[in-house]
Amino acid sequence: MNIYGLTLLELEDYFLSLGSKKFHARQLFSWLYEKRITSYSEITDIKKEILEQVEKDYAISPLRIVQVQKDVDVCKFLFALSDGEHIEAVLMKHDYGNSLCVSSQVGCNMGCRFCESGRRKKVRNLETYEMVLQILMIEKELEIRISHVVVMGIGEPFDNYENLVKFLQIINHPKGLAIGARHITVSTCGIVPKIRAFSNLDLQINLAISLHAPNDQLRSQLMPINQAYPLKELIAVLKEYLEKTNRRVTFEYILLKGVNDSVSCAEELCQLVKNLNCYINLIPYNETTHIDFKRSSMFQIMKFYDILKKNKVNVTIRKEFGSSISAACGQLRSKKEEL
């Protein structure tokens, strides 16, 4: 097991099981996340015999960075995991800070037809520590502070719910990575029971929904998850979420040429989100060599945008990052398995 997979509460319980004190857990947490040690031998305020037991029980080993690709304001990292699998994470430099797009699984079972990441079926969930270390290692490699995290990389976060929640607790904790809850966003394709569970967490973390279609027929064609949880159920659970959290929801909407970018789709979308505390994030499609969908023209994108604006829907068009290094939205996928 890896030490970066433990929340502070779990670490406190662990120290108590050793016959030690809770405050040793807080000390170790500080060494890990504030002082950024790489070896237990660097710790000076916990007894040696206790640390020897901790080292037997929990490794402090990192992931391995295999490759770094750079584009304007973006870096893509390819990580090798201990079992030989690979994942990717993307750093994006904004005027408000550094944002990291984190992966949550090796592969993905959701099968969204337009998504490169989902072409490889899920191999396994990432462990909590494998998610935490994506942040720690990139901060160390680039000598920067990551201020924002989006769990939108490879995988469906809510299909790895328990590890996701622990990851969020660690990076949000003031003694952990101390990333503000409102600077963390989790994106899901719409697993209704997990959205309901997420709404009951005492965290002010942002929720984004991969929508991409305004009606069930089209969304089921694009996103198999809609057959299990159609729009009526999705919108209903989001109303519950809004009532419980008073947090605005983001809808992500990738515009596909001739598929979901028509005037009628825009008008349907306005009706679907009417009276919801939300905004729409329109995403120009990032084409890939393996998938036939094409991006909408800028004329059509602006036409779609204008319809939403005229209907008083909060809407933005996402700034594009990293398409030249396959680091843009929907393009993440380790190419190692194709070699």
The CB-side HSE value for 61 (13 A sphere, CA atoms) comes to 12
**DSSP-derived secondary structure letter, 98:** E
- Cα–Cα distance measured from residue 242 to residue 237, given in angstroms and rounded to the nearest whole number: 9
Do the domains 64-338 and 3-57 match in fold?
no
- Cα–Cα distance measured from residue 263 to residue 268, given in angstroms and rounded to the nearest whole number: 9
CATH code of 3-57, in short, is 1.10.150.530
- Write phi, then psi, for 151 (nearest 5 degrees): -95, 80
Indicate the residue type of 170.
I
**DSSP-derived secondary structure letter, 91:** E
Within 10 angstroms of residue 83's Cβ, the number of other Cβ atoms is 8
Active site residues per annotation: 88, 329
pLDDT of residue 336: 54
- Per the structure block, which two tokens stand in for 58? 């929990």
- Per the structure block, which two tokens stand in for 260? 């979901």
pLDDT of residue 117: 76
**DSSP-derived secondary structure letter, 158:** G
- Cα–Cα distance measured from residue 286 to residue 80, given in angstroms and rounded to the nearest whole number: 25
**DSSP-derived secondary structure letter, 223:** -
pLDDT of residue 330: 46
Beta strands in 107-243 (DSSP E): 124-125, 148-151, 184-188, 206-210
Helix (H, G, I), strand (E, B) or coil at 105: strand
Helix (H, G, I), strand (E, B) or coil at 251: strand
- Which CATH number is 64-338's, of 3.40.50.720, 3.30.43.10, 3.20.20.70, 3.40.50.300? 3.20.20.70
Per-residue pLDDT of the chain (339 residues; tens, 9 = 90+): 999 999 999 999 999 999 999 999 999 999 999 999 999 999 999 999 999 999 999 999 999 999 999 998 899 999 999 999 999 999 999 999 999 999 999 999 999 999 887 778 899 999 999 999 999 999 999 999 999 999 999 999 999 999 999 999 999 999 999 999 999 999 999 999 999 999 999 889 999 999 999 999 999 999 999 999 999 999 999 999 999 999 999 999 999 999 999 999 999 999 999 999 999 999 999 888 778 899 999 999 999 999 999 999 999 998 775 455 444 444 444 455 544
Cα end-to-end distance, the chain, whole Å: 30
Query: What does the domain layout of the chain look like in residue ranges?
Result: 3-57, 64-338
Helix (H, G, I), strand (E, B) or coil at 220: helix
